[in-house]
Structure 1
Amino acid sequence: MTTVSRDSLPGVSPPPSLHGCNTLQPCWRLEVAVQTPAHSALGDLLTYASTVPMAPGALVRVPLGRREVLGVVWACAERSADDSALELKTVAGVLDALPPLDSGWRDLVAFAARYYQRSLGEVALAALPPQLRDLTSQQLARRLKRRATPVPAPDEAATDPAQAVALSGEQSAALARFEAETGPFLLFGSTGSGKTEVYLRAVAALLARDDKAQALVMVPEINLTPQLEARVRDRFEARFGVGAVVSLHSGMTHPQRLASWLAAHSGQARIVLGTRMAVFASMPLLKLIVVDEEHDPSYKQQEGARYSARDLAVWRGQREGAKVILGSATPSLESWHHSRPAEGDDTGGRYVRLAMPGRIGDGALPTVRGVDMNLQPPKTVLSAALLDAIGQRIARGEQSMVFLNRRGYAPVLACGDCGWKSECPHCSAYRVFHKIDRTLRCHHCGYTERVPRACPACGNPDIAPVGRGTERLEEHLAELFAPVRRPDGSAVRIARIDADSTRKQGALARKLAEVHSGEVDVLVGTQMIAKGHDFRRVTLVAAVNPDGALFSCDFRAPERLFSLLMQSAGRAGRDANYLAAQGSTAEMWIQTHHGRHPLFQALRQHDYPAFAKQQLDERRAAGMPPFAFQALVRADARLQEVAQDFLNAANAAADVLPHAPHVARYPAVPLSIQRVADVERAQMLVESGSRVALQRFLADWQPLLHGLRREPVGKGVIRWLIDVDPQAI
C-alpha cells in the first residue's frame, strides 16, 4: 500500500502530533472498520497507520482505494519493529469533536456481524447516519456548535398528566412485576388493553429515578412513529426539556437523522423512538428497551445485513444491563415459546410473561362473525349480511373498516380471447392494474406502462381486470352505498389507505386525521390500517379475502395471517364509552371459504394461546423453528441454472466442513418469485437442531463460498448472501 499524505486531503484537519513521534514515520497501528464492498473478502478490519494513539470507537477518515471513507477504530497498538517496515496508508483525519462509540455499541455491532454472517465494517457503517460519512471534522464541529445553542430548561415541577389516570389492575400488576424482576419481559396484552401506557409509565419511572438514563422505544412501521412521537412528546418534554425526545427512522431526511443520532450519542436525548434501525443507535446510558408489536415481520431487515432488530434488542439489553419489554397481542411463536411457564421437567422459557387479557374500562373484544362464502352467489365480493351491517353503522354515524391486503385495482389484466395476461417482462410476476392513473405497474421491479387500448397479443379491445385490490374495492363500496345517507343527510364518504394513496408527503397524516375526526364512514386499506392505530369510532372491521395465506408454502403464513386478523379486529370497539353511547357492539366479520379451519376457530374466541399451542405442536413435530434453527443461502444470476449450480456446488463443497454432519442441507430451488428485474434468484435451505452448530458451519462455509465465486461455477453469479433466521421461505 502507498502512503497518502493528509495534507493533500482538503477540508480534513490532521491529528495533533504526539511527542516523540515523527509525522513522517507514524508509530501507531490502527485496526479500522470500513464499509467494504459486500462479499469482497477483504476481511473485517483494515490496518492503517497513525501518528497518535486513538481510542477504540473513534471515528476517522481513511483512504480506501481512490476514495476517502469514514471508519471506526476497533483497536490501536504501538507499531512493533516487525511491522514497522510495512507501508501502511495513513489516517487522513479524525472526527475528534465526537466522543468515541462505547464498548457496548461496538460489541453489539460485532455480535450482529458475526451472527448474521456479514462484515464488521458493513454493519458498523450502516448503523451510522449517512450524512456523518461525508462530514469533515470542521463541518462536524460547526454542527455541534449550532446544537450547543441553549434550549428552554425542563420544568422540574411539571408532573406527568397521565399519573392522574388510574391504571387497571392488570396494568398495575404488570408494572409491579416489571420493577421487581429482571426480564426480559413479554407483555402479552390484548388490543386495547393499555400496553402503550405500561411502556410510558415504565419509561417515566426510569427517567425519574435516574437523571441520565436513556430509553429506546421501537415500533415496526414508519407510519406509527409520528403518532407515538406526539404522545411521548406531550408526556415528557415539559418534564425533561425540548430535545429530550427524538425519532430515528428511514422516513427522515439525512440532516434530521444526523441530528437525532447526535442527540442520542451525547446523552441529550433521553428517549429515542424509532423503527428497526434504531436498535443500533448510540445510547451510552441506555437502561430500557421497548419493542412494540414485537411479532411484526418489519423488524427483520430484508436488504444488506439481514438482522432481526427484536432479537438484537434482547441481546443488547443483556449486554448493557438494560431491561427489555417485548409487547404484542399476538406474539411471535418464538417469543411465546421463550416465555413459557415452567411445567413438569420443563424449566420454562428465559422470558417473563406479563399477561393483560382484558381491555381498558368496560370494553369488550369484538364479536367475530364468519361468512361462509361457499353459500354465497358466485362472484360475490361483499355478502348481503356484511353490507347490511356496514349500512347500520353508517346510519348511526359509526365507522367501519374493510381490510384487503392487496393494493391496486386488480392483480392482473387479462384477455378472454387469447389468454394474454399483464405479465411483467422483467419479473416472473404480473403487473397490477391501477385504474386511477391507467397504468400497469410491477410491484417487484417498479416497471410501469400505460394500459394498452387492446390486447397486445391478439388485438381484442375487451381486456378486463381479474381479481380485486383495494382501489377496486373502494370503487365497489362507493357504488353500493351511493344511495345511502349519513345521519346529517350527506353522502357516504369512503376513504382508502394503502401504499399508493399515501405516496405523497403528508398524505397519510391527512387521511388519518380525517378518520379520527369522523369525516370517513368506511375505511378501506391494506395492513397499513390493521395495526397500531387507535380509531375510536370504528365499531366494525371486515376481512374480505383472507384465505390465500392458509395454504402458502411458507410455514409462517398461518402465524402472520392470525396476527394480522387479530390486530385488525383490535381496531374495533376501542372506546367503551362511545359504544355505550351509541348503543352499539363491536364486530369483526370474516368472509372465508374455510370457516372450519383451526385458525378461524381460535380467532372466534380471541384465543391466541390455543392457536399458538396448535402451531407449536405442528412445528415441534416437523422440527421447525423455534425447535430448529435455519438459514437461507441465496444466489442471483442472469440464468436460473447458473444460480442453482453455484448453490449446489457450495452444498457439495460443504461436505468437508467439521460441523456438516450436524446441519441438514437441501437442494437449491427457485424463489417463489424467481425472476425480478431480469435477475434469476435461487435459494438453498440449511437447518440444524443446534444454533451453535449452524453458526460454526456458516462461518466455516464463508471462505468456500468466496472461493467458488472466483471459480468457473461462480462466474455468472451476480451476488450471493446468507439470511440467518429467515422470516420468509
Structure 2
Amino acid sequence: MTYWLSIVVATPAHSSVAGALTYASEWPLAPGTLVRVPLGRREVLGVVWEVLPDSGDLLPAQARAVLGALDGLAPLSATWRRLVAFTASYYQRSIGEVALAALPPQLRALSTVQLARRLKRPVAAAPDTPDTTDLIALSPEQERAIAEFDADTRPALLFGATGSGKTEVYLRAAASVLAQDASAQVLVMVPEINLTPQLQARFEERFAHLGKAQVVALHSGLTPAQRLKSWLAAHAGQARLVLGTRMAIFASLPNLRLIVVDEEHDPSYKQQEGARYSARDLAVYRAMLESSTNSSSSIAAPSFSAGAAEPAPPGRRRSAPPGGSEPHEVGSVGAMSCRVLLGSATPSLESWQATVAGRYQRLTMSERIGAADLHGSLPTVRLVDMNHQPKHCTIAPPLLDAIAQRIARGEQSLIFLNRRGYAPVLACHDCGWKSECPHCSAFRVFHKMDRTLRCHHCGFTERVPRACPGCGNIDIAPLGKGTERLEEHIAELLVGVTRPDGSPLHNSVRIARIDADTTRLKGALESQLASVHAREVDVLVGTQMIAKGHDFRHITLVAAINPDGALFSSDFRAPERLFGLLMQAAGRAGRDAERGEASEMWVQTFHPQHPLFGALKKHDYPAFAAQELKEREAAGMSPFGFSALVRAEAREQAVAQGFLNAAAETAQAQQLPGAEAVTPYPAVPMTIQRVANIERAQMLVESSSRAALQRFLAAWQPLLHQTRQEGDFKGLIRWAIDVDPLAI
C-alpha cells in the first residue's frame, strides 16, 4: 500500500519550491516524523507535515519515495508544528526554511544509522539527591511579585530595577514549576550567552541537584555535537531546564510549562538573517499554544500579531486572515498550562503598552536588594554639559577627578563608549583622503593594536599605510575615538594625578578594555570578567558588552562618554534603545549595598536639557515610556501602527530600487487584499547602501491594521516573484521581507 505524505524540506522563500512537497511512502508515518527524502540530486532531511488522502495532481509515476524515517526519534509535536507554521506565515518565509533551521545542523546531516548509534549512547541518570540549596530570604517586593504571578494567567512582565532581584524570581518560578510536575520543562531565554554569564552560572548552580543531563544549554556557541546532544535531551523530555538564546524558542520541549525571557527588550531577540522572527513575541505565542487544552482549536495570537489568522497547512493556498477581527483576550483560552515571564529594567515599549492595555500582567520591583528606598539605592545621575568644558575635551575634568577619587578609595569605575577600535576614521588633512572601504559605503576603522584598517561590515582589512595614498603626506591622523583610543587616553590623563596623601596615582592604576576585539579568543571574556570581580582592575573601558547583564559588585561610578548621536537619529527606536542602554549601564554601579548610596552615573552630553536625560536623572522609565508612546501614537508608529520592510540587493542601486518600485506599482494597480489600508513608500538606499560591493535598497510598508498588512504581504509575495522573473532586473541578487523591523 502507498501512503501519500506532505513533507517540508529546507527551501528558501524566494525559491520556486517554497511549499511542502508530496512524497510516497511504503510505511504509515505520523505527522512530525523526521525522514530522509530525495530533493533533486541530494538526499535531505524533511518533516512529515500531514498525511494526504491521495496524490492530488501528482501522477503516481512522478512521485518520489521517502528513503527512510529517523527511527527511535519521537515525532515533533503538533504544537511545535503549529508554532513553525505560524512563524513562516507571519514573517513571510518558507515553512520548510523555518522548520529545518529550527533543527540542529548535525541532525540534518545524520543518516538513520548514525542517529541510531547516538540514541543508543547511555544517558547519565539524574542523581537521587534532594535540593539542599540554601535559599536567600526574599524581599517583600519579590514575594509580592511571585504571589501575583502565581495568581494570574496572562503573560507577565517583570519590571524590576537593576539589582532588584529579578533573577531570584526567575529561579523561584522555575523551581516551583519543576517541583509541581516531575515531567515539566522550563525554557529560560537570554539575549546573548556571552553577555549573561552570571545568569547562566546561577541557574546551573541552583539546579545542580537535577544533574547535568537535565540542565542543558542551547545556543550557537556550542559545537554541533553539543547542540545535538542538548536538543535530543530536550526533545526526549530528559532535560528539565533549557537555557538558550533566541534559537531556543524552537526547541522541541514536549512538556513545556514555563518560558522566561530575560532582558526582553534586547534587540538580539530579533533574528536579522533568513526568517526575521522575534523570539520574544514567539515566546508569548508558544505559551498560548502550549496552554491550549485542545491543540486543534483556534487560538488567539498575542499582542504582536493581533488580527493575524492561524496559518493554513503547507502546500495548500493560504486564505487571507479575516479583516478587522479583534483578538481574543489571552486569558480566555482556558487554564494556562504554560506561562511566560518577561523581565527587564527597561521593557520594550510594545510590552509596556501591552501592560497598559491589560493584555499583559505587570509585576513591579522598584527597590534594589538591601536598599531602603528607590532614590537611595540607584546611582545618582550627573549630567556634564560639554558646552561648558574645554574644547575637544574627551573626558571632562570633573569626571576625571571623580574617577581619580574612586581609584584612591579602592573602588572601580566603568567607562562606556559604544564604538570599538582606536578611531572610526583615518584621514589626511592635506588632500581630504579618508579610510573609506573600497567595497562598502562606510569607513574602515583604525585599530592601533595590530596597525590595521578594518571594515566592520565586510571584514576587509589592510595594514595602515605609511603615507597618504592620495598625496603621499606622512601626517595622516585618526578622527574620533573608539574604546581602544579611550583606554589609552584615560591612562595618559591619570598620569600626574595624586592620592590624598600626595603619592602619585598612575603607578598603580590598572585599566582594562572589554569589547569584541579583546574577547575574540575562547575564554577571553571569562578571564577578563574574573579580573574585574577579583578587583584587579581600577577602570574598565568597553562597549555595550559591559553595560548590561553583569553583576559588578565593586563598581561605584559609570560614565557614558558620547551618547548624543542617538538623540537625533532617523530611526524612531533610537531614543528607546539609548535610554535602555544608559539605564542598564547605570545599573552596573552600586550593586553592593554598602556602596550603593555613593554610586554615580555620569553622562557627558551637549544637550543636557533633552527630556530623555530628565527621565534618566530620576530613573523614571514610566515617564519616559509615557512620553515616547504619546509621540508614537500621534505618528502611528509601533505599537500603534504596523510596518514591514522589503529589502532588495543588487549589483546596482538603480536595479534594487527599480525592482521594489515596480513591485509596489503592480500591487497598487491590482488592488491586492488589504491594499486600501496599506501605504508603501518609495524605495530608498539603506543607511549603509553598499556592503561587499552589493547595493542595498529598502521600501517601508505601513498600515494602521496588522491584519490588513498581513493580507497585503501574503498576496504580494507571488507578485514579487513575478516581477523578478518578468522584469529587466538581471542584476538583482535577492529580496526579503522583514515584518516588525527593529531598525528603519
Q: Deviations over 1:310-346 (max 9, x none)?
A: 0000000111011001100000011000001xxxxxx
* 2:371 alignment partner in structure 1: 362
2:554 partner amino acid = R
Q: Select 1:122's aligned residue among 89, 97, 104.
A: 97
Q: Deviations over 1:37-82 (max 9, x none)?
A: 3410313201111101101110001111111111111012354698
1:250 aligns to 2:220 (yes or no): yes
Give yes or no for contact 2:18–2:96 (8 Å, CA) kept in 1. Answer: no
Counterpart of 2:125 (choices 151, 173, 178) is: 151
Question: Would the aligned equivalents of 2:663 and 2:723 in 1 still touch at CA under 8 Å?
Answer: yes
One of 193, 199, 204 as aligned partner of 2:170: 199
C-alpha distance after superposition, 1:478-513 (max 9, x if no partner): 122244589998621100010111011111000010
Q: Secondary structure at the match of 2:162?
A: coil
Render the CA deviation track for 1:200-234: whole Å, top value 9, x for unaligned: 00000110111110000001112135432221121
Letter in 2 for 1:559: E
Aligned to 1:324, which of 340, 346, 350? 340
Structure 1 runs not aligned, ≥5 long: 1-20, 22-26, 341-347
CA contact (8 A) 1:264 1:272 kept: yes
**Hey, what does 1:29 align to over in structure 2?**
4
The equivalent residue for 1:555 is 572
Structure 1 pair 81/331, CA: closer, same or farther in 2 (3 Å)? closer
For 2:564 and 2:509, the matched residues in 1 are separated by 29
Aligned with 1:52: secondary structure? coil
| Structure 1 counterpart of 2:549, one-letter code | G
> What pairs up with 1:601-612 in 2 under 5 angstroms?
601-612=614-625
Partner in structure 2 of residue 185 of structure 1: 156
Q: Name the CA distance, whole Å, in 1 between partners of 2:57 and 2:620.
A: 68
Distance across 2 between alignment mates of 1:514 and 1:351 = 41
Residue in structure 2 matching 1:631, options 640, 644, 647: 644
* Equivalent-residue separation in structure 1 for 2:728 and 2:283 (angstroms): 39
* 1:284 equivalenced with 2:300 (yes/no): no
SS at 1:161's partner residue? coil
- 1:109 to 2:84 alignment: yes
Q: Is the contact made by 2:184 and 2:257 (CA closer than 8 Å) also made in structure 1?
A: yes
Q: Secondary structure at the match of 1:464?
A: strand
Amino acid at match of 2:717: Q
Q: Which shows bigger deviation, 497-506 or 32-41?
A: 32-41
Question: What one-letter code is carried by the residue in structure 1 that aligns with 2:721?
Answer: H
Q: Residues 706-725 of structure 1: matches in 2 within 5 Å? A: 706-725=721-740
SS at match of 1:417: coil
Match of 1:667 among 676, 679, 682: 682
Equivalent in the alignment of 1:334: 350
Name the counterpart of 2:581. Answer: 564
Indicate how the Cα distance of structure 1 residues 677 and 161 shifts in structure 2: closer, same or farther if over 3 A, else same. same
Tell me the residue number matched to 2:283: 313
Secondary structure of the residue aligned to 1:243 is helix
Determine helix, strand or coil for the equivalent of 1:694: helix
1:460 match: 473
Q: Secondary structure at the match of 1:576?
A: coil
Aligned equivalents of 2:686 and 2:7: distance in 1? Answer: 37
Instruction: Specify which structure has the bigger relative contact order, considering alpha-carbon pairs within 8 angstroms and separated by 6 or more residues.
Output: 2
1:229-628 equivalences under 5 Å are 229-238=200-209, 240-321=210-291, 322-340=338-356, 348-362=357-371, 364-483=377-496, 491-577=508-594, 579=595, 585-628=598-641
Query: Helix, strand or coil for the counterpart of 1:369?
Result: strand
Q: Do the aligned residues in 2 keep the contact of 1:97 with 1:137 (CA within 8 Å)?
A: no
Taking the aligned partners of 1:175 and 1:81, their CA distance within structure 2 comes to 54
CA contact (8 A) 2:195 2:545 kept: no
- AA aligned opposite 1:405: N
CA contact (8 A) 2:651 2:694 kept: yes
SS of the equivalent of 1:223 reads helix
**Offset at residue 145 of structure 1 (A):** 1.3
Cα 1:100–1:485, aligned 2, differ >3 Å: closer, same or farther?
Answer: farther
Match of 2:713 among 678, 698, 701: 698
Counterpart-to-counterpart distance in 2, 1:130 and 1:702: 28
Note closer, same or farther for the CA distance 1:647–1:394 as it changes in structure 2 (3 Å cut): same
Shift of 1:265: 0.5
1:149 to partner: Cα distance? 3.7
Q: For residues 290-311 of structure 1, give each alpha carbon's deviation from its aligned partner in whole angstroms, at most 9, with x where no partner exists.
A: 0000001010000000000000
How far apart, in 1, do the equivalents of 2:49 and 2:498 lie?
Answer: 68
Matches of 2:549 and 2:434, distance apart in 1: 37
Q: In 2, Cα distance between the equivalents of 1:212 and 1:392?
A: 55
CA contact (8 A) 1:53 1:77 kept: no
| Structure 1 residue matching 2:531: 3-state secondary structure | helix
Q: Deviations over 1:538-577 (max 9, x none)?
A: 0000000000111000000000000000000000001103
Distance in 2, matches of 1:368 and 1:124, equals: 47
Amino acid across the alignment from 2:726: E
What's the counterpart of residue 654 of structure 1? 667
Aligned to 1:69: 44
Question: Does 665-674 or 85-94 show the bigger shift?
Answer: 85-94
Instruction: Supply the distance in 2 between the matched residues of 1:250 and 1:623 (Cα, whole angstroms).
Output: 37
Aligned to 1:4: none
How many residue pairs get aligned? The number is 688
TM-score normalized with structure 1 length: 0.93
Whole-angstrom CA distance in 1 between matches of 2:358 and 2:89: 25
**Aligned residue in 2 for 1:161:** 134
Q: Does 1:59 align with 2:34?
A: yes
Distance 1:470 1:150, change over 3 A: closer
Aligned-partner Cα distance in 1 for 2:182–2:693 = 55
User: Which whole-Å CA distance do the structure 2 matches of 1:251 and 1:228 have between them?
Assistant: 16
The equivalent of 2:318 in structure 1 is none
Mapped partners of 1:714, 1:120: distance in 2: 27
Aligned residues of 2:439 and 2:690 also touching (Cα < 8 A): yes
1:133 alignment partner AA: R
Q: CA deviation at 1:716?
A: 1.7
Aligned residue number for residue 345 of structure 1: none
**Given the two structures, how large is their TM-score scaled by the length of structure 2?**
0.91
In 2: Cα distance, 1:87 partner to 1:558 partner: 57
Mean alpha-carbon deviation: is it higher for 626-635 or for 29-38? 29-38
**Are the equivalent residues in 2 in contact too, given 1:222–1:250 (CA < 8 A)?**
no
Is 1:92 the counterpart of 2:67? The answer is: yes
Distance 2:536 2:106 in 1: 41
Specify every segment of 5 or more residues in structure 2 that has no aligned partner in the other structure, as ranges.
Answer: 292-337
Is the 1:188–1:327 Cα contact (8 Å) retained in structure 2? yes
Q: Secondary structure at the match of 1:713?
A: coil
Tell me how far apart the structure 1 counterparts of residues 684 and 515 of structure 2 sit (CA, whole Å): 32
Are residues 390 and 158 of structure 1, via their aligned partners in 2, closer, same or farther at CA, if it must alter by over 3 Å?
A: same
Q: Distance in 2 between matches of 1:485 and 1:97?
A: 71
Maintained 8 Å contact 1:237/1:243: no
What do the CA deviations read for 1:120-153 (whole angstroms, capped 9, x no partner)? 000000000000011011111111111x244352
Q: 1:207 and 1:181, CA in 2 relative to 1: closer, same or farther beyond 3 A?
A: same
